[in-house]
């Protein structure tokens, strides 16, 4: 059976997810859980010539079982004794060790309004998706410590959890840390302001800030009233435009300019990185494939041993 890596992702990181999935040549099948927030993500995937299939989350498990039914079950036993068919089956098993099925579930952005609700929803979706997954990658930063001790709380699920981590092995603080390349770089950029308040905008943040309704504890959510408050207006003087492989285009430029003019901030451009998103995805994928291959190899050895005895 082909390994299944599930990804539970924040809307704010959908651009990074589109980037890494569209460049994965080993991706055999891609499924997206159908919900209100998935359609923009799907449009972006299709624009990169990546065409997923949409299913309600509660139907994904059934469909995966259908497509992942072992070929040995589908081929009559009498044909398996023919050398040609045996060789075809073995080649397919070897190939399946290199490719993967990915299931993506995009969670809505406004969960960040309450870190407790965010954590609860992440846990609920992990439990549901663990039933059909060999591993789950959480495409989230540690927003408001919402991922703290998550593995301990979910120790009873039979599924490995993977996180967005920087080069130090630490879970990234938030989506800005992902975009900049890690927690240490994030801290360095903040210190470079010498006490001047700065807002950091990725393409998704730049296109979404007007939709944010209120400031939330432990997050970087904001609204116009917050930034136009005289106290904070004196504090925040710069908007940091984070540019990388996914940030090119007139729309991003226009959104940054609109933000800077609305709040009377100067623009500082910093080169970001896709390395954390890319490496975290590859690490999760490789681990899932390796574990699945090892399990399948043991199973095949056991079946072969029993066959010889009979």
pLDDT in tens, 224-250: 566 666 666 667 899 999 988 877 778
Half-sphere exposure of 162 (CA within 13 A, CB side): 23
pLDDT tens digits for 75-128? Answer: 455 444 555 444 444 444 444 445 899 999 999 988 888 889 999 999 999 999
Q: Check whether residue 20 and residue 167 sit in a common domain.
A: yes
Residues 59 and 88 in one domain: yes
Quick one: tokens of 304? 């072969």
pLDDT higher than 90, residue 129: yes
The reply to whether 121 and 196 lie within a common domain is no
Same-domain check for residues 76 and 100: yes
Q: Are residues 219 and 70 in the same domain?
A: no
Evaluate whether 154 touches 123 at the Cβ level (below 8 Å): yes
Pairing verdict, β 135-139 and 4-10: parallel
Residues 84 and 205 in one domain: no
Whole-model pTM?
0.83
Q: How far is CA 286 from the centre of its chain?
A: 15
For residue 146, report the phi and psi dihedrals to the nearest 5 degrees: -70, -15
Per-residue pLDDT at 308: 56
Same domain, 280 and 264: no
Same domain, 222 and 301: no
Provide CB contacts within 8 A for 180, sequence distance 6+.
186, 189, 200, 242, 270, 272, 273
Q: How many domains does the chain have?
A: 2
- Cβ neighbourhood burial of 165 (10 Å; 0-12, 13-18, 19+): middle
Same domain, 134 and 209: no
Same domain, 227 and 125: no
Range of the domain at 146: 4-172+275-309
Provide the β-strand partners of residue 201.
Answer: 241
Residues 146 and 186 in one domain: no
């Amino acid at each position: 059976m082909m390994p299944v890596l599930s990804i539970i992702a924040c809307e704010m990181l959908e651009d990074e997810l589109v980037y890494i999935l569209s460049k994965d040549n080993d991706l055999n099948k891609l499924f997206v859980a159908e919900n209100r927030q998935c359609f923009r993500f799907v449009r972006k995937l299709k624009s990169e010539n990546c065409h997923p299939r949409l299913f309600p989350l509660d139907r994904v498990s059934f469909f995966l079982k259908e497509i992942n039914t072992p070929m040995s079950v589908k081929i009559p036993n009498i044909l398996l004794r023919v050398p040609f068919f045996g060789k075809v089956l073995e080649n397919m098993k070897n190939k399946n060790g290199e490719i993967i099925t990915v299931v993506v579930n995009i969670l809505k952005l406004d969960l960040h309004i309450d870190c407790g609700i965010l954590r609860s929803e992440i846990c609920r979706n992990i439990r549901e998706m663990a039933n059909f997954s060999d591993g789950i990658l959480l495409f989230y930063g540690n927003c408001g410590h919402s991922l703290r001790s998550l593995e301990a709380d979910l120790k009873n699920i039979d599924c490995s959890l993977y996180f967005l981590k920087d080069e130090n092995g630490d879970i990234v603080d938030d989506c800005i840390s992902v975009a900049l390349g890690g927690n240490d770089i994030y801290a360095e950029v903040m210190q470079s302001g010498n006490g001047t308040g700065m807002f950091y905008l990725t393409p998704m943040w730049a296109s979404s800030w007007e939709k944010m309704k209120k400031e939330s504890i432990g997050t970087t959510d904001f609204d116009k009233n917050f930034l136009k408050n005289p106290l904070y207006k004196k504090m925040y003087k710069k908007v940091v435009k984070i540019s990388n492989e996914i940030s090119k285009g007139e729309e991003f430029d226009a959104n940054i300019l609109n933000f800077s003019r609305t709040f009377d901030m100067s623009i500082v451009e910093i080169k970001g990185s896709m390395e954390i998103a890319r490496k975290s995805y590859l690490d999760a994928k490789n681990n899932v494939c390796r574990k699945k291959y090892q399990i399948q190899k043991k199973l095949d050895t056991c079946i072969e041993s029993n066959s010889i005895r009979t």
